[in-house]
Structure 1
Amino acid sequence: MKKFYSLVAAVVFAATVNAQTFSVTEVAAEQFGTSTVSDITETVYPIDANLDYSFAANGANNTAFYPADGIRMYSVRATGEGNIMTITPKNGAKITELVVNAFSAAYAPAVTYSVDGGAFVPATWSGTTLTITGIEAATTLAIKNAHTGGSSNTQLRIPTFTVKYDLVTMAVGDVNATKANLVKNTVVSNNILFAAKADVQIVSMNGQVVKSASVNENTALDVASLAKGMYIVTGTVNGQAVSQKIIKK
C-alpha cells in the first residue's frame, strides 16, 4: 500500500462540516490480479483512501484468492471460528452498509459479523447476497465464516462486495460557486482537467499533500496512481486562493 507523506507546512482550510455518503464496489479480481494467491492473510489491502481490509486465519486455512471465483474464506466446522475479513474505516469514515455477493449458493455458508470489536452476531443471506445494514462502524466491521457441522469445511467465496460509508469532510465554503474556477472535472478517473494556470497541490482528507504540479489552462494532470477517495485541489488563480473538492474513482 502506498504511503504519502505531508509537507512540513500544515494545510489549513477555512471549512465547514460536510457529511457525504460513498459506495465502493470491490471486484476481487481487480484487487488481487489474475493469478492465484494462496495466502492473503498477513497483508492489509486498501479499498479506497478511507477504507482498508485485512484477513485473519483464526484456526482455518489462510484466506486465498482464485481468479475464477474470488476471495475464499475457509471455515472450521468443529467450532465455527473460520476466516475473518476486517474492514477498517479511516479519516473519520463510518461504515453504514456491507453487501457481500457469494459465488454460488454452495459457497454462501453461515456468516457472523462484529461492529467496532463487539460480539459476533448472525447475518442473513438472501439467496447469494448478504446485506449488513443499520450500522455505524467507526473503527472496524468484521465478517466471519461461521459454518459448523457437516462433513467438510465450507468456503465463503466472494467475487464482489460493496461497502457504503459516511464521511464527515472539510468542505471549503462553497468555493465552486463563489470563487475563481480551478478544476473542470470534480469526479475524476485518471486525469484532472484545469480551467486556469496555477501551481496546485492535491491534498488528502487527512491533510497530506499527495501531489504537487504547475498546470496551465485546459491542461490535464495524471492522477491515475492516486487511491480512490476524496481530495482537495488547492491553487491560486488571479491572486485568489481557490480550493475545490474532487472525487477519485
Structure 2
Amino acid sequence: MKKFYSLVAVAAFTSFGVAQAQDVIFNETFDTYEGEGGNDGGWSGGLNQPAIADGVDEATGFEYLKAYQADGAVKIGTGKAQGFATTPKLAGLNGNAKLTFRAGAWNSTSEQTTLLLEITGGGTLSVSEVELTKGAFNDFSVDIIGGTSETKITFKGFQPASARFMLDDVKVEESLATIDYSEAAKAVSNTLWTNTASFNVKEKSVVEVYNMNGQLVKSFEVKGVQTVDVSSLAKGIYIVKTTSNGKTATQKVVKK
C-alpha cells in the first residue's frame, strides 16, 4: 500500500505560540482499511469502498457516521449525507499538543472543500476549519491548547451534502517548550507589510509565510536586521513562522 503526499499545509495559527512535539499521545494510520481511495489515486466515481458501521469502530476507536474504508484511509460522507469522524478520548493528554493529519476533498464539481474541526471534552483548537484540495491529500498541523484526557477531535464536512473527504494519518503529540507570542513579534519588525518585510533576529532563521488556508506561499532565510521583498504576495492576512535553533514562533501580519 502506497501513500502519496502532496502540498504541506500548516494551520498552527494561535496566539499561544508553536511548540515542539515530543511524546505521541494518539496515532491512527488506518492501514487496516481496504478498498480504494486517495492513496491509490481514487478520488471520484464508483470506487470499491466497504462501508463502516455507524458508531464506534473497534479497529480504530473512531466514532463514525457515513464512513467507508478507502485503502489505508477513511472516506467520510456521501453525496447526500454529511458524516463525521471523531477520535477516541485522547488519554494521556494534559495541556498543549500538536494535531497533525492528512485530508483531501472528493473530486466532483459540486463538492465543497472546507473541513470543519471540533473539540470536545476540554481545550481549544488554533483553527476551526481548514481548506482541502479536490483529488489530493494535504498535510495539516493544528495546535491543541489546554487539552485533557477527555478531549476528542471531530472532523466533518462543511455542509449537509456534497461534503465528502478522505482522512489519513491522524496523530496527536504532546508539546513542550512553548514559545511566547511576544517572542515571535520580536523577530518580525513590521506586521503591516506593503512591498517589504523587516526582520530582526540574532541567529540565522528560516521564515515561512502561510496564507489563512494553511498553505505555504513563501519561504526564505534571514539573519540580523534584514529587509525582504514580499511584493509578490497578494493582499490579505498571513501567518509568519520563524524557526531558529529548533525553536519556532508565529506572528500574524497584514499585507496591504
Which is higher, the Rg of structure 1 or of structure 2? Answer: 1
Q: What TM-score bracket applies, with the shorter chain setting the length?
A: 0.3 to 0.5
Asked which structure has the greater RCO (Cα within 8 Å, sep 6+), the reply is 2
TM-score (norm 2): 0.31
TM-score (norm 1): 0.32
